[in-house]
Chain A
Amino acid sequence: MKDSVESYVTDDGRTIGGVMLDLRNITLRFGGVEAIKDISFNIREGEIRAIIGPNGAGKSSMLNIISGFYKPQEGEVLFDGVARPPMPPYQVARQGIARTFQNIALFEGMSVLDNVMTGRMNHMNASIFSQAMWFGKAQREEVENREAVERIIDFLEIQKIRKTPVSRLPYGLKKRVELARALAAEPRLLLLDEPMAGMNVEEKEDMSRFILDLNDEFGTTIALIEHDMGVVMDLSDRVVVMDYGRKIGDGTPDEVRGNQGVIDAYLGVSHD
């Protein structure tokens, strides 16, 4: 059973470690609306974890809780086995969690390189003065961080658009730039909110390849929301299925595929 906490090796040779992020009995309300009702699941070190569900199921809210943007009214979030007190997103980011957004949130007027550099913010701590003068520590830091960013640019094969303003890029490439920026933070856990929405088949294939590669090469743990079932079933090690704020399934892609509750949710059985 893959729910045990012992690490195991997947068929394709990746090691899945212990629980990294544990969500326990999370409930999230907006006024009188319960967006998430008493959900528990965990994300293990090194795995690709998918969250799926019909529109309005609460998937993005779940991601927002993990990233610290929403504070659940009930339940707790354990990161590395330690309960995480409510904290602002930037502190969550410092813990090693990075994300991309469903609607691309890049700085449109800036170049790809500059956008990706912003992802390194948590790795820079030179003073304002030093940065303004580009002197001493700031200069050293910039060189180091640029190198890290260039490795990501190379990894995602976006050398050609390095100096291009983001506003001039097509949608598929913007998505890739957003991924680059998230990766620049060198996260342990990467949250991807619909990384393939609006892409054509070829772009989806590329993106899937990058997700698998970065999980494999850098050992980054990935939690993703995605609607394309083919992609989800191919990529992920485990899948959480949500519907109307509740968890209706959790397990390997095969287990989930055979789950009656999941089939009902997707085929649209009426909710009473």
Chain B
Amino acid sequence: MIATAPQEGCETLPKLLARNVLRYPNKPAYREKEFGIWQCWTWSQAATEIEDLACGLADMGLEPGDSVAIIGRNRPALYWAMISAQMCGAIPVPLYQDAVAEEMIYVLDNSHARFVIAGDQEQIDKIHEVQDQIPRVEQMIYHDPRGMRKYGAPNLSDMAKVRAKGREKRAEIWPRLQALQAAKTYDDTCVMLYTSGTTGRPKGVVLSNRNIIETSKNSAEFDNLRSDEDILAYLPMAWVGDFIFSVGQALWTGFCVNCPESAETMQTDLREIGPTYFFAPPRVFENQLTEVMIRMEDASRSKKWLFHYYMAQAKAIGPRLLDGESVGLGDRIKYFLGNLFVYGPLKNTLGLSRVRVGYTAGEAIGPELFSFYRSLGINLKQLYGQTEASVFITQQPDGQVRSDTVGVPSPGVELKMADSGEVFYRSPGVFVEYFNNPESTASTKDADGWVATGDAGFIDPESGHLRIIDRAKDVGKMSDGAMFAPKYIENKLKFFPNILEAVAFGNDRDMCTAFLNIDMTAVGNWAERNNIAYSSYQELAGHPRVLEIMRGHVEDVNVSVATDPMLSGCQVHRFVVLHKQLDPDDGEMTRTQKVRRIVVEKKFSDILTAMYDGKSEIFTETEVTYEDGRKGKIKATLTIVDAAVQPAQKLEAAE
């Protein structure tokens, strides 16, 4: 692989910032809604804040090579803190803000963080709680002073004060920092991000300036991103995607990063900002759609008719228009009217009116869900990526969007398939190493820079797009030798709005079974409309009529699975609707909301055994963790439901 030379003056993020100050001094760079009003900072204002904080941090003793942990919700001040740390030659390490204290110990300790910059009291409290277990942490800085008045620890400072101190001592410190930055190269570390850890402990992925800047540049060119884009920064700051979108690409192209007022107001803020470049995991789109459908159920009959009529039109015409195919005049007029009456107002309500480029990734997106957004005229595309790749491995170009593939290799990315079906890639975005973990680095990345994705897939011969089947290590065999791909079935199940989460089992077993989680919003609304009383999640999840609906969904999935000759053995024979939602606080999911299969299998092993023993009911007791870290137990008797299976096309002869 040929290493590309950096553009002059673009080797590090602080240098990109300086470039933006020259290029767009008075253009909005960051916005945040506070006290009901969107506050705005231009590139030059932001740069001043960042430099002041950098001087303040250096004054407090931040040394080149130190790690700075950053924890909090998406706020400009925290994005700035990351660049400030880089100005001091230090390495920012963003952490998941909803991590419980114990999870934080591991990352803080593993990353050798000397400084912690926290958003608010909540985060500081968590660190205080475990302080004696993280002796390396020397200084703590908080941004929001609310509730912090009585915290007297000597190593705790208010960010505003640090900044003020930095401003005061700027004349003395800034030249030193400038010299430090000038010496930084394209191959120095830019940031360290922790993988979400679907399996085992999270690993610190070291990404260089080259990784971040090359990736930002390539992906910005791929989608023709410009300096007048608006994005909404609402996904966890510790996630590589947010770092690329809200930091890398924002600095590269000079577009504006908007931060919501709070996590709960995201939908309102989305509508107010109307981003032009939008990223969301399928979950967000799914929630939006569920909300729309629920509200349509309650609408008047004429409105319902209007909605359903024009949505049917949109489904037929919208995607063709987006893909630039030829569409007849009559259809164009229909779509125009639909846009006037339904799509336009709907997009506006969703906050997606201005979206020019939209991406979804992280999980497979249901074809129904995907086409709903596409038919409204929203250019929603899929991408496939990893922390180790600085996000981008493949993405869908405009006009070549399909729901079952993840697109063509991103610019600069090479792909190859191993014999086992596992996908390998090589790109300028490929990570430097796992921090302090040469064994893992060696087992993931070979000497030539090829990285194993851990996913099994193939290139679709028709379109040339990559298609992902499942995690390579999750693909197994059933006891009769048929291929078992749990993700494939789970995704099909999850495409039903009533099913929030599904976990399928079947490896080395004679039949496939599944655990389901109901979607409280969708099923709750259904219960309300059907006069079904319930007092808790558990009660609703166990309601016989809910189980009946679930059985219907599972049987529908079986019908569709049966048509796939390769995977027809994976039909779900029996299932259980779990009495609790799978939750990251209980370790059943990662912080990025991916199921930890092994944990779930172990934790609910009693239920699993009962399913294979042919029982029809099982009493179980499960430990749960509340948001404040306390633990409790819930008990339930779960019904095991049998679902009808279709005759498997290929295997029938063998039986």
Question: Interface of A with B (CB < 8 Å)?
Answer: 12-13, 146-147, 150-151, 153-155, 157, 159-160, 162-163, 213, 216-217
CB-nearest residue of chain A to B150:
A13
**A153: nearest residue on chain B (CB-CB)?**
B36
Q: Are B262 and A160 in contact (CB-based, < 8 A)?
A: yes
Could you give 15 example pairs across A and B, Cβ below 8 Å?
A13-B150, A146-B36, A151-B35, A154-B34, A155-B146, A157-B262, A159-B262, A160-B268, A162-B36, A213-B147, A216-B147, A216-B149, A216-B150, A217-B146, A217-B149
Does chain A have a CB within 8 A of B531? no
19 extra interchain contacts, Cβ-Cβ under 8 A, other than A153-B35, A159-B262, A160-B264? A12-B150, A13-B150, A146-B36, A150-B35, A150-B36, A154-B34, A155-B146, A157-B262, A159-B36, A159-B261, A159-B264, A159-B265, A160-B265, A160-B268, A162-B36, A216-B150, A217-B146, A217-B147, A217-B149
Is the contact region of chain A dominated by helix, strand, or loop, or is it mixed? helix
In whole angstroms, how far apart are the Cα atoms of A119 and B610 in the complex? Answer: 60
A13 contacts across to B, CB distance below 8 A: 150
List the A side residues contacting B150 at CB < 8 Å. Answer: 12-13, 216
- Chain B residue with Cβ nearest A213: B147
The smallest beta-carbon distance between A69 and chain B, in angstroms, is 33
Chain B residues near A163 (CB-CB < 8 A): 268
B207 to chain A, nearest CB (A): 34
Q: Name the A residues within 8 Å of B262 (CB-CB).
A: 157, 159-160
Q: Scoring B residues 134 to 148 as 1 if CB is less than 8 Å from chain A, else 0, what string do you get?
A: 000000000000110
Per the bound structure, the CA–CA distance linking A217 and B150 in Å amounts to: 10
B residues less than 8 Å from A153 (CB atoms): 35-36
Q: Find A147's partner among B35, B261, B265, B268 (CB 8 Å cutoff).
A: B35
Name the B residues within 8 Å of A12 (CB-CB). 150
Q: 8 Å CB contacts to A: which residues of B21-41? A: 34-37
Q: Which residues of A contact B147 (CB under 8 A)?
A: 213, 216-217
B interface residues, tally (CB under 8 Å)? 13
Question: How many Å lie between the Cα of A13 and that of B265 in the bound state?
Answer: 34
User: What is the total of A-B residue contacts with beta carbons within 8 Å?
Assistant: 32
Contact residues, B18-70 vs A (CB, 8 A):
34-37
- Nearest B residue to A150, CB-CB: B35
Contacts of B261 in A (CB 8 A): 159
**A12, A147, A160: most-surrounded residue (chain B CB, <10 A):** A160
7 nearest A-B pairs in the assembled complex, by CB-CB distance = A150-B35, A160-B264, A150-B36, A160-B265, A159-B261, A159-B265, A13-B150
**Most A CB within 10 A of own CB, among B35, B37, B150, B262:** B35
- Of residues A12, A154, A155, A217, which shows the largest number of chain B Cβ atoms within 10 Å of its Cβ? A154
Q: Which residue of B lies closest to A12 (CB)?
A: B150
Q: Please report the C-alpha to C-alpha distance between residue A162 and residue B261 in the assembled complex, in whole angstroms.
A: 12
Measured between alpha carbons, how far is A182 from B450 in the docked complex, in Å? 63
A14 to chain B, nearest CB (A): 9
Chain B residue numbers with a CB within 8 Å of A162 are: 36
The minimal Cβ–Cβ distance linking B35 to chain A, given in whole angstroms, is 4
Chain B residue with the shortest CB-CB distance to A162: B36
CB proximity of A61 to chain B, nearest CB, Å:
35
- In whole angstroms, what is the CA distance A153 to B33 when docked? 13
- Complex interface: chain A residues within 8 A of B149 (CB): 216-217
Task: Give CA–CA (A150, B34) in the complex, Å.
Answer: 9
CB distance from B321 to the nearest CB of A (A): 34
A173 and B261 alpha carbons, distance in the complex (Å): 19
B241-271 CB contact bits vs A (8 Å, 1 = yes)?
A: 0000000000000000000011011001000
Q: Which B residues touch A157, using CB under 8 A?
A: 262
Q: How far is the CA of A160 from the CA of B261 in the complex (A)?
A: 9
Least CB distance from B497 to A in Å reads: 23
State in angstroms the CA–CA spacing of A162 and B33 once bound together. Answer: 13
Alpha-carbon distance between A230 and B504 when the two chains are bound, in angstroms:
46
- Which residues in B have their C-beta under 8 angstroms from that of A146? 36
Chain A min CB distance to B520 (Å): 16
Residues of A within 8 A of B264 (CB): 159-160
CA distance A155 to B145 in the complex (A): 12
B121 (CB) vs chain A CBs: closest residue: A213
Instruction: Specify which chain B residues have a CB less than 8 angstroms from the CB of A216 in the assembled complex.
Output: 147, 149-150
Closest Cβ of chain B to A219, distance in Å, is: 11
B residues in contact with A147, CB < 8 Å: 35
Residues from chain A with a CB closer than 8 A to the CB of B146 are 155, 217
Look across to chain B and name the residue whose beta carbon is closest to the beta carbon of A209.
Answer: B147
CA distance A151 to B150 in the complex (A): 20
Query: Bound complex: CA of A153 vs CA of B149, how far in Å?
Result: 20
Q: Determine the distance from Cα of A182 to Cα of B543 in the docked complex, in whole angstroms.
A: 43
Q: Which chain B positions have C-beta within 8 A of A217?
A: 146-147, 149
For the complex, give the distance between the alpha carbons of A142 and B34 in Å. Answer: 18
**Distance of A153 Cα from B264 Cα, bound (Å):** 14
Give CA–CA (A157, B149) in the complex, Å: 19
Residues of B within 8 A of A150 (CB): 35-37
Beta-carbon contacts of B463-481 to A below 8 Å, as 1s and 0s?
0000000000000000000
Bound complex: CA A146 to CA B35 (Å):
9
Measured CB to CB, the nearest residue on chain B to A160 is B264
- Bound-state Cα–Cα, A217 to B146, Å: 8
Among residues of A, the one whose C-beta sits closest to the C-beta of B628 is: A205
- How near does chain B come to A236, taking the closest CB pair, in angstroms? 19
> Shortest distance in angstroms between A269's beta carbon and chain B's nearest beta carbon?
37
Q: CA–CA, A12 to B146, complex, Å?
A: 16
Tell me the nearest residue of chain B to A146, going by C-beta.
B36
Closest Cβ of chain A: how far from B31's Cβ, in Å?
Answer: 16
Instruction: Kindly report which residue of chain A lies nearest to residue B144, judged by CB atoms.
Output: A154
CA distance A147 to B191 in the complex (A): 38
Chain A residues, CB < 8 A from B34 = 154
Report B599-625 CB contacts with A as 1/0, cut-off 8 Å. 000000000000000000000000000
By beta carbon, the residue of chain A nearest B145 is: A217
Contact of A154 with B35 at beta-carbon distance under 8 Å, contacts A216-B150, A217-B146, A217-B149 already known? yes
Nearest A residue to B36 by beta-carbon distance?
A150
Q: How far is the CB of B553 from chain A (nearest CB, A)?
A: 31
A156 to chain B, nearest CB (A): 12
Once the chains are docked, how many angstroms separate the CA of A216 from the CA of B262?
23
The CA-CA distance from A131 to B508 in the complex, in Å, is 76
* Nearest Cβ on chain B to A13's Cβ, whole angstroms: 5
Nearest opposing residue in chain B for A205, CB measure: B628
CA separation between A51 and B52, bound complex, in Å? Answer: 50
A12, A13, A153, A159 — most chain B CB neighbours (10 Å): A159
CB of A180 to closest CB in B, whole Å: 13
Closest Cβ neighbor of B268 among chain A residues: A160
Contacts of A159 in B (CB 8 A): 36, 261-262, 264-265
A162 to B37, CA, bound (A): 12
Min CB distance, B414 to chain A, in Å?
A: 46
CA distance A162 to B265 in the complex (A): 10
**In the bound complex, what is the Cα–Cα distance between A147 and B37 (angstroms)?**
9
Closest beta carbon of chain B to A160's beta carbon, Å:
4
Chain B 580-607 interface mask (CB, 8 Å, partner A; 1/0): 0000000000000000000000000000
State A146–B36 Cα separation when bound (angstroms).
9
A188, B265: Cα distance in complex, Å? 31
Complex alpha-carbon distance, A213 and B264, angstroms: 21
Taken together as a complex, chains A and B put the C-alpha atoms of A159 and B269 apart, in Å, by: 11
Q: Determine how close the nearest CB of chain A comes to the CB of B562; give it in whole angstroms.
A: 45
Nearest Cβ on chain B to A116's Cβ, whole angstroms: 11
In the complex, residue of chain A having the shortest beta-carbon distance to the beta carbon of B33? A159
Report the separation of the CA atoms of residues A219 and B238 in the bound assembly, to the nearest whole angstrom: 37
Chain B residues within an 8 Å CB radius of A155 = 146
**How far is A155 from B36 in the complex, measured between Cα atoms in Å?**
12
* Alpha-carbon distance A213/B147, docked complex (angstroms): 7
